[in-house]
Structure 1
Amino acid sequence: MFRLAHISDVHLGPLPALSLVELASKRITGFVNWHSNRRRHMFANALDLLMGAVERNDPDHLAITGDLVNLATRIEIDSVACWLPRTGTPENVSVVPGNHDAYVPGAYERSTKAWYPYMRGDNAPAEWTSDRRIFPYLRVRDNVALIGCSTAVATPPFAASGYFGPRQARDTVNLLRAAGEAGLFRVVMIHHPPIHGATSLHKRMIGITRFAATIFAGGAELVLHGHTHLNTVHWLRSPAGPVPVVGIASASQGPGGHKPPAAFNIFEISGAPGRWNVMRERYALDAQCADVVLAETTRFYAGE
C-alpha cells in the first residue's frame, strides 16, 4: 500500500514588508486584498497544526499543488525554500506551482529555481536551467507515477487564471501512456481545477478542454488540484472509466471564514492495473483551531 498526502494553497505567511518598487505592480491589489480580507482567515498555527497531523499520518509521499506564497516577493520565495525541507526531502515531496507563485513577471522563474529540487523529474537535469519546460515532470515512487503539470503564469490585476498549453498536453499524454504501460498508478498534480465551472471566469484554467482530452488520451487514476480553497470531487472521462479530480482547502485557512478550514487528504493506494483500490481520508482543522480531526472517509476508485 502506498500512502499519498495532498495539501495545497499554503500561502506561507506572514506577508513581508514591501518596497514602493514592489508595490508598483499587480502586487498592490494583492497587498490590499491581504490586509482587508485574507489575513483575517489565514493563520500560521493552522498550517503548523495541519503539518503536524500530516507527519503523524506518516505518508510515503506528499503532493503540494501550488500557491506556496502570496505575492511572490523574493523574501517569500526564499522563506518557502527554507520551509520545504521541514515538510520532507525532495525525494518524498513533490510540488507544482500556482498562480501566486508566478504573481508578477519574473516570479515564475525565481520560484521554480528556488524550489527546483521538489519539482525535478527523476530523469531531469540535477541543476535548474532557464528553460521553462521542466513541466510536466515524472517521478516514480513504488508503483505510483507522480506527474506534475504547471498552469502558473503571470496575469493582469484582478485575474488569477492559469494556462495549460498544447506542448505540455502532448508531453503529459506521453508520460501518462508510458506510465500506464509500465503498470503504474498515475497521479496528475495541477494547481487550477481542470473542470468547467469549478471557479469564476477570471480564476479559471485556460485549456480545460485540452486537459480533459489529455486525460482521455493518456489515461490516469487520480488528479489532484488546489486553487479554489474548497474540498471538492469532480470526474473526468477516460477509456478505463471515470477519473476522480480532487481539490482540497487551503492549508493555512483558519475557521470562521467563508471557505472551509485547513485540510489535507491521505490516499491509500493498493491493488494493481485493472483492480486499483483507493481510499481517501480527509482531515480538517476543528472549529476551535485546536486540533486536526478526521472529517471524511471515501472509497474513490476500485477498477475491476
Structure 2
Amino acid sequence: MFRLAHISDIHLSPLPPVRYRDLASKRITGYVNWVKNRKNALECSVLGDLIDDMKAQKPDHIALTGDLVNLALNAEIDIARAWLEKLGNPHDLSVVPGNHDAYVPGALQKSCRAWEPWMRGDDIDNGGRAPQFPYLRQRGGIAIIGVSSARATAPFMASGDFLPAQAHRLALLLERTKQAGLCRVVMIHHPPVRGATPNYKRLFGIGRFQKIIKNYGAELVLHGHTHLATHYEIEGTNGATVPVICVPSASQSFGGHKPPARYNMFDISKSENGWSCEWSQRGILTQDNEITAIGTHLLALPSH
C-alpha cells in the first residue's frame, strides 16, 4: 500500500515587508486583496497544525499542487524554499506551481529555479535551471507526473494554460508509465474541468488536457486553485472515468467564505482489476480550528 497525501494553496503568511516599487505592477491589486480579504483568513498557525496532523499519518509521499506564495515577491520565494525544506526532502515531496507563484512576468522562472529540487524528474539534471514540465517520478508502483498550468496574467485574472508542448510530453509519459504497469497520478494547479471555476480563473487548454487523458489514460488527477473540496470525473481510455480531486487551501481558517483547511490522503494498493484506493479527508470543521477526520470512502480508479 502506498499512502499519498495531497495539499494545496499554501499562501504562506504573513507577507514579508513590501516596498512601494514592488507594487508598481499587478501586485498592487493582489496586495489590496491580501489586506482586505486574505490577511485574516489565511493563517500560518492553521497551516502548521494541518501539516503536523498530516505528518502524523505517515504518508509515503506528499503532492503539493501550487500557490505556495501570494505576490511572488523575491523574499516570498526564498521563504517558501525554506518552508519546503522543513516540509519534506525532495524525494518525498512533489510540487507544481500555481498562478500566485507566477504572479508577474519573470516570477515563474524564479519560483521554479528556487524550488527545482521538488520539481525534478527522476534521473534528470536541470543544471540549476528551472525544470521542464511535465516531470515524472516513480515511487514504488506509483507514477507521479507534475504538470504546470502557471503563467503570469493581467490584473484581475488568474487563469492558467496547458499548451501543446506539455501535452505532447504528457502523452509520452502516460504511455510509458502505462506500459510499466504503474498507477499514474497527474498533478496540476488549475482544474482541468469545464465550469469548475469562473472564466477569469479557468484553465486554457481543458479540451487538450482531457483529450490526452482520454487517449492515454490516468488513474487519478489532483489539483488546487479553487480552494474547494470537489470531486469530478473526466473520460479515460476504453470508457473508463478518471477521478479529478481538489482540496481546500491548507491555511484557510474557519469562518471564511471558502471551506477551512483540509488535506486528502490516498491509500493506493494493487488489486486484481488494477488499483484500489481508499480516500480519506482530514481538516477543520469547527471554529476551534481543530484538525479532525471528515470522511473516508473507496475511490474507483480505472484499470489499465
- TM-score scaled to structure 2, two decimals? 0.97
Corresponding residue SS for 1:17: coil
- Give the letter aligned to residue 148 of structure 1: G
1:49-93 per-residue CA deviation (whole Å, 9 max, x = no partner) reads 100011100000000000000000011000000000111110000
| Corresponding pairs, count | 302
Contact 1:41 1:253 (C-alpha < 8 Å) held by counterparts: yes
1:270 corresponds in structure 2 to 269
Tell whether the 8 Å contact from 1:101 to 1:152 is kept in structure 2 after alignment. Answer: yes
Corresponding residue SS for 2:214? helix
Q: Give the Cα–Cα distance (whole angstroms) in 1 for the partners of residues 284 and 228 of structure 2.
A: 13
CA separation of 1:68/1:273 partners in 2, compared to 1, >3 Å: closer, same or farther?
A: farther
- Distance in 2, Cα, partners of 1:291 & 1:92: 26
Instruction: Please report how far the alpha carbon of residue 301 of structure 1 lies from its aligned counterpart in structure 2 after TM superposition.
Output: 1.3
**More deviation, 275-284/189-198:** 275-284
2:176 alignment partner, SS class? helix
SS of residue paired to 2:90 = coil
Question: Contact 1:235–1:243 (CA<8 Å) still a contact in 2?
Answer: yes
Q: Retained in 1: the 8 A contact 2:250–2:261? A: yes
Tell me how large the CA RMSD over aligned residues is. 1.2
Moved more, 11-20 or 141-150: 11-20
Residue 11 of structure 1 contacts residue 70 of structure 1 at CA under 8 Å; is this kept in 2? Answer: yes
Structure 2 residue aligned with 1:159: 157
CA distance in 2, matches of 1:273, 1:167: 35
Q: One-letter code of the match for 1:231?
A: A
Which whole-Å CA distance do the structure 1 matches of 2:54 and 2:178 have between them? 29
* Deviation of 1:100 (Å): 0.2
Question: What amino acid sits opposite 1:49 in the alignment?
Answer: D
Q: 1:236 aligns with which of 211, 229, 234?
A: 234
Deviation for aligned residue 1:303: 4.8
SS in 1 for 2:165: helix
What displacement does 1:290 show? 3.8
What amino acid maps onto 2:299 in structure 1? F
- Residue aligning to 2:249: 250
Q: Structure 2 matches for 1:7-46, cutoff 5 A?
A: 7-46=7-46
* 1: CA distance, partners of 2:191 / 2:288: 27
Residue 218 of structure 1 corresponds to 216
Equivalent residue letter for 2:6: H
After superposition, the Cα gap between the structure-2 partners of 1:273 and 1:124, relative to the gap in structure 1 and judged at 3 Å, is farther
Deviation at 1:27, TM superposition (A): 0.2
Structure-1 residue corresponding to 2:178: 180
Q: Is the 8 A contact 2:254 2:289 kept in 1?
A: no
Q: What 5-or-longer segments of structure 2 have no aligned partner?
A: none
Q: 1:134: which partner in 2?
A: 132
SS at 1:229 equivalent: coil
Partners of 1:176 and 1:258 lie apart in 2 by: 37
Paired position in structure 2 for 1:280: 279
Distance 1:115 1:192 in 2: 19
Q: Could you tell me how far apart the structure 2 residues matched to 1:298 and 1:206 are?
A: 32
Aligned partners of 2:273, 2:19: CA distance in 1, in Å? 55
- Residue in 2 aligned with 1:86? 86
Work out whether residues 213 and 237 of structure 2, in 8 Å CA contact, stay in contact via their aligned partners in 1.
no
Alignment deviations for residues 251-282 of structure 1 (CA, whole Å, 9 cap, x no partner): 01000011000000000000158421011001
Alpha-carbon deviation of 1:135? Answer: 0.2
Q: Is residue 110 of structure 1 aligned with residue 110 of structure 2?
A: yes
The separation in 1 between residues aligned to 2:137 and 2:301, in whole angstroms, is: 23
Q: Using the TM superposition, name which of 15-24 and 157-166 deviates more.
A: 15-24
8 Å contact from structure 2 (residues 193, 206) kept in 1: yes
How many percent of aligned residue pairs carry the same amino acid? 50
- The range that moved more, 189-198 or 281-290, is 281-290
- 1:20 deviation in Å? 1.4
> 1:170 maps to which residue?
168
Do the aligned residues in 2 keep the contact of 1:185 with 1:273 (CA within 8 Å)? no
SS at the partner of 1:276?
Answer: strand
Q: CA deviation at 1:298?
A: 1.8
Report if aligned partners of 2:49, 2:291 keep a CA contact under 8 Å in 1: yes
How high is the TM-score relative to the length of structure 1? 0.97
